[in-house]
Amino acid sequence: MIVIPIAFIAVHAALAPIASAITSLFPYEQSQLTNDTLNGLKDDPRTASLVDLLSFGDGATEPIPSGSCKSFPGDEDWPSESTWKALNVSLKSALIYTTPIAAPCYDSQWGKKDVAKCNEIVGNFTKWPIHQSDPTSIYWPVYQGRTCLARIDTTEADSCMRGGYPEYAVNVSSARHVQLIVNFARNANIRLVIKNTGHCYLGKSTGAGSLGLWMHNLKTVEFLPQYESDGYRGKAFKLGAGVTVVEVYRAAEEHGVSMKGGISPSVGYVGGYLQGGGHTPLSGYWGMAADSVLEYQVVTADGDFVTASETSHADLFWALRGGGGGTYGVVTSAIVRAHPKIDVTVSEFTLGNTTNQTVSREGFFTGLRTYWESFPDYTDAGTYSWFLVFNTNGQLSLKMTFFAPGHTMESFRNLTKPWFDAIKIEGIPFAVPEKAGYYESFLPAYMEAWGRNEFPMGTATSLPGNRLLPKSLWTSAENFNATWNMLRTHIEKGRHFGGYHQAPKNPLKADNAVSSAWRNTQSFFITRSILFLETATTNDIGKSNKNLLEEILGPWRKLAPASIGGGSYLNEAAVDEPKWKEDFYGTQYERLLEIKKKYDQSGLFYATTAVGSDEWEVRDGDQGVSTQNGRLCRV
Ligand SMILES: Cc1cc2nc3c(=O)[nH]c(=O)nc-3n(C[C@H](O)[C@H](O)[C@H](O)COP(=O)(O)OP(=O)(O)OC[C@H]3O[C@@H](n4cnc5c(N)ncnc54)[C@H](O)[C@@H]3O)c2cc1C
Ligand SMILES: *[C@@H]1O[C@H](CO)[C@@H](O)[C@H](O)[C@H]1NC(C)=O
Ligand SMILES: *[C@@H]1O[C@H](CO)[C@@H](O)[C@H](O)[C@H]1NC(C)=O
Ligand SMILES: *[C@@H]1O[C@H](CO)[C@@H](O)[C@H](O)[C@H]1NC(C)=O
Ligand SMILES: *[C@@H]1O[C@H](CO)[C@@H](O)[C@H](O)[C@H]1NC(C)=O
Ligand SMILES: *[C@@H]1O[C@H](CO)[C@@H](O)[C@H](O)[C@H]1NC(C)=O
Ligand SMILES: *[C@@H]1O[C@H](CO)[C@@H](O)[C@H](O)[C@H]1NC(C)=O
Ligand SMILES: *[C@@H]1O[C@H](CO)[C@@H](O)[C@H](O)[C@H]1NC(C)=O
Ligand SMILES: *[C@@H]1O[C@H](CO)[C@@H](O)[C@H](O)[C@H]1NC(C)=O
């Protein structure tokens, strides 16, 4: 036996990054598909006939003829029952023939209506656990095609169908599962869908007639006290693909460090969040969440299990930090740099109501304007907020959560004094009095601010939209006037209005796919369409969508076009945003497309509005908005 000295391994590892990563693989990543395991499957009579469909890709693909479609259930080339059975054997029984989450609300192929079960589902439907723990459920059923809504009042006339939910799903518990499914889907020409939590606002984690990878159960979290690479030496976490934002925050607290994450506790960390950029209450200190990624483990479209980092598949690594989820590969884990512990002051209050109070509408708007004018000061000081403005029956109010990392109560008071003075001078009442607190670390501050917020979801009653407003809109009185006038008009029209003051910095000098618009951002505004009924006609949804894109978002787009550094955050956007390439991906689109083509020639990883997605279409008929309830075909 030859004993290799430790020092030799270290040197060797530095020269061969792929090998070095093997030391840090999670146990579930050590279970991989190799040519050896393929040979094993060939020798097993239950899977022998399947092996051709499980073989690795070699990067080369025939050009895909225009108009050709992915195989769909019922098609001649759709795999037979026995093929699915064999696939299940190869997956060690992890294959699920899916059931729509709300099936118990209907008489359907999945059984008779079960009123008790239906009640429980409907009762839980606006909360996250039920969607995360289901292999195919998503938070916004409108993109699924509304073919099996969670409703108590269904009758025998109502039907439940899979619609846009995947036909089969795999409860992923190893890298090998992912590789098998990637190979099978590519070789059998079947649409592949990746679902983690199902949070996606655009329907990217669902798709009709597809085979779904359900990543949620990859929950491993490991603290790395002394991570080392060429670019960084220090604390980090290695995080499984199914870990959520709040789980990362808890782990950070436990180890006395800070980690960047979003405001919703239930958002998946490593999936759409990190890969789409990830804005965070700590962006004023350490940038976008994706800026702190050190490595990913990825299954590529050819089925290979690789490390993506600065020294291994650097182009893929670049794309996976901001270029969008579900596009370049399936990530099984990420190593993310940890940041120092930080203290936080949080202030929450609601201002208003106005017409029946001592304050005039003008006074309220003056107070609001003072706040907005202060954004450069607030973001220079590293702070962040999430607020909502309501205009209900002419009553104006502002619900504020102001998050000030690195600030004591005193420095927070100093920073916000001009605004609080204006509130007092104008006599704007507090509808909900201020509750302010100082916390020595991030987690308790976060729990106070957002950690217990349900962020209601699971409804099919509106469509989202957003805009990233660049710093230049604040640099002259004239520009700010235009900004102010646009926002005030939006509010005066009684439209939904939410927003953040945040200006992600880039202290790590990250060069990645986080959209160029994010690097200019002073503020991020979110809105939604006019509400519609879950059971609205497609015509009504179409009208609401058109109104959103033209009447509501039109002025936002005009104020902050990509040409002046504006854009739209790809993770929380209107799915039919017309200039999505430049608006979602900024100046990075062309490079991302090259990387996409290099790693995924066959278009295995389709997701709506993802890089390269315009080469495909979902034939969903007219549903009023782009849904995933249809066959996926090459345009
Ligand atoms: C209530 C709410 C609050 C939010 N708050 C924030 C916030 O504060 N900051 C912020 O930046 N964003 C926020 N978001 C947006 C959020 O980041 C996105 O919805 C994100 O896509 C969620 O990722 P997921 O993996 O949980 O969701 P999913 O819907 O499961 O997946 C989203 C996309 O990622 C892909 N994907 C998932 N897992 C993988 C994987 N392992 N490998 C490759 N692709 C994968 C999917 O295919 C899909 O395209 C919020 C969303 C909601 C609904
Ligand atoms: C499997 O074998 C094929 C053909 O021999 C080879 O090209 C490929 O690189 C191998 N793949 C892996 C992951 O070992
Ligand atoms: C896969 O096998 C398991 C265990 O036998 C079974 O429960 C499951 O239904 C099978 N999946 C499919 C799609 O047949
Ligand atoms: C629904 O919520 C109740 C409590 O609110 C819980 O006991 C139950 O397990 C939930 N059911 C599902 C399916 O999530
Ligand atoms: C999925 O797999 C996990 C183990 O990884 C198991 O605990 C869980 O029950 C499975 N869920 C379903 C729905 O099959
Ligand atoms: C303000 O008034 C509207 C309309 O009367 C009401 O719906 C809303 O709840 C009030 N908001 C607050 C914060 O009091
Ligand atoms: C104003 O407030 C008072 C007391 O809260 C209430 O009785 C009255 O109806 C309100 N008027 C309007 C116009 O809302
Ligand atoms: C706050 O402002 C006061 C008065 O200007 C000043 O004395 C004090 O040092 C400031 N504190 C901080 C933390 O900035
Ligand atoms: C800003 O708008 C106000 C009225 O809305 C106007 O009085 C003022 O002159 C404008 N200022 C600039 C610099 O355009």
SS3 588: helix
Tell me the domain boundaries of the chain: 33-217+605-635, 221-341, 344-588
**End-to-end CA separation in angstroms for the chain:** 58
Correct CATH for 344-588 of 3.90.79.10, 1.10.3480.10, 2.40.50.140, 3.40.462.20: 3.40.462.20
What does the block give as tokens for 386?
Answer: 């999430």
Query: Is residue 18 predicted with pLDDT exceeding 70?
Result: no
Digit-coded pLDDT (tens) for 167-180:
999 999 999 999 99
Digit-coded pLDDT (tens) for 386-431:
999 999 988 999 999 999 999 999 999 999 999 999 999 999 999 9
Which residue has the CA at smallest separation from atom 1 of ligand 1?
Answer: 455
Distance 397 CA to ligand 8 centre (A): 30
pTM of the model: 0.94
Query: Is residue 8 predicted with pLDDT exceeding 80?
Result: no
What does the block give as tokens for 338?
Answer: 């940890």
- The pLDDT assigned to 357 comes to 58
CB 478 less than 6 A from any atom of ligand 9? yes
Digit-coded pLDDT (tens) for 436-479:
999 999 999 999 999 998 788 878 899 999 999 999 999 999 99
pLDDT band with cut points at 50, 70 and 90 for residue 256: very high
Q: Which of 410, 413, 417, 420 to mutate to test the pocket of ligand 8 (most atoms within 8 A of CB)?
A: 410
Query: Is residue 21 predicted with pLDDT exceeding 60?
Result: no
- The pLDDT assigned to 463 comes to 97
pLDDT band with cut points at 50, 70 and 90 for residue 283: very high
Ligand nearest the Cα atom of residue 356:
7
Report the pocket of ligand 2 as residue ranges, CB < 6 Å.
34-35, 56, 304
Distance 350 CA to ligand 6 centre (A): 10
- The pLDDT assigned to 1 comes to 36
Cα–Cα distances in Å, from 361 out to 44, 348, 355, 358? Answer: 76, 22, 7, 10
Distance 160 CA to ligand 5 centre (A): 25
Which residue has the CA at smallest separation from atom 6 of ligand 6?
Answer: 392
- The pLDDT assigned to 359 comes to 65
Distance 474 CA to ligand 7 centre (A): 38
Digit-coded pLDDT (tens) for 123-161:
999 999 999 999 999 999 999 999 999 999 999 999 999
DSSP for residue 566: -
CB 489 less than 6 A from any atom of ligand 9? no
Tell me which of 66-75, 283-292, 345-354 is least confident.
345-354
Mean pLDDT, residues 278-301 taken together: 98
How far is residue 28's CA from residue 431's CA, in Å, rounded to a whole number?
51
Residues 6+ apart with CB under 8 A from 370: 418, 419, 422, 423
pLDDT band with cut points at 50, 70 and 90 for residue 22: very low
Buried (b) or exposed (e) across 536-574, using 16+ Cβ within 10 A? bebeebebbbeebbeebbebbbebbbbeebbbbbbbbbb
Q: Which of 414, 416, 417 to mutate to test the pocket of ligand 8 (most atoms within 8 A of CB)?
A: 414
Whether the CB-CB separation of 509 and 499 falls below 8 Å is answered with no
Nearest to 79 by CA among 213, 211, 194: 211
Q: List alpha helices for 260-325, DSSP H.
A: 274-275, 283-286, 314-319
Cα–Cα distances in Å, from 543 out to 153, 467, 539, 540, 573? Answer: 26, 21, 6, 5, 18
E strands, 549-635, are 616-619, 631-634
pLDDT band with cut points at 50, 70 and 90 for residue 15: very low
Atom nearest to 353 CA in ligand 6? 1
Residue 197 parent element (H or E): none
Mean pLDDT, residues 491-515 taken together: 97
Mean pLDDT, residues 270-299 taken together: 98
Residues 6+ apart with CB under 8 A from 461: 531, 532, 533, 534
Question: What is the fold of 221-341?
Answer: 3.30.465
- The pLDDT assigned to 51 comes to 96
Q: List alpha helices for 331-467, DSSP H.
A: 361-373, 375-380, 409-426, 442-446
What does the block give as tokens for 592?
Answer: 């991302």
- The pLDDT assigned to 10 comes to 37
Residues 6+ apart with CB under 8 A from 83: 49, 50, 53
Mean pLDDT, residues 539-543 taken together: 97
Atom nearest to 55 CA in ligand 2? 1
Which residue has the CA at smallest separation from atom 6 of ligand 3?
Answer: 93
Count other Cβ atoms within 10 Å, centred on residue 619.
12
Mean pLDDT, residues 83-99 taken together: 98
What is the bridge-based pairing of β-strands 210-214 and 191-195? parallel
Query: Is residue 11 predicted with pLDDT exceeding 50?
Result: no
pLDDT band with cut points at 50, 70 and 90 for residue 2: very low
How far is residue 139's CA from residue 460's CA, in Å, rounded to a whole number?
9
Digit-coded pLDDT (tens) for 326-372:
999 999 999 999 999 999 999 999 998 776 555 688 899 999 999 99
Ligand nearest the Cα atom of residue 389:
6
* Ramachandran region, residue 209 (left: φ > 0; alpha: ψ -120 to 50; beta: rest): left
Q: Which residue has the tokens 């009504």?
A: 540
pLDDT band with cut points at 50, 70 and 90 for residue 48: very high
Digit-coded pLDDT (tens) for 614-635:
999 999 999 999 999 999 999 9
Digit-coded pLDDT (tens) for 547-564:
999 999 999 999 999 999
Distance 360 CA to ligand 7 centre (A): 15
- Length of the chain, in residues: 635
DSSP for residue 222: E
Nearest to 446 by CA among 342, 532, 529: 342
- Top-confidence residue, 38 or 23: 38
What does the block give as tokens for 117?
Answer: 């079960």
What does the block give as tokens for 541?
Answer: 């949804």
Query: Is residue 5 predicted with pLDDT exceeding 70?
Result: no
What does the block give as tokens for 362?
Answer: 């003008």
How far is residue 91's CA from residue 468's CA, in Å, rounded to a whole number?
43
Distance 401 CA to ligand 6 centre (A): 18
Across the chain, what does the average pLDDT equal? 94
% of residues, the chain, pLDDT over 90: 91
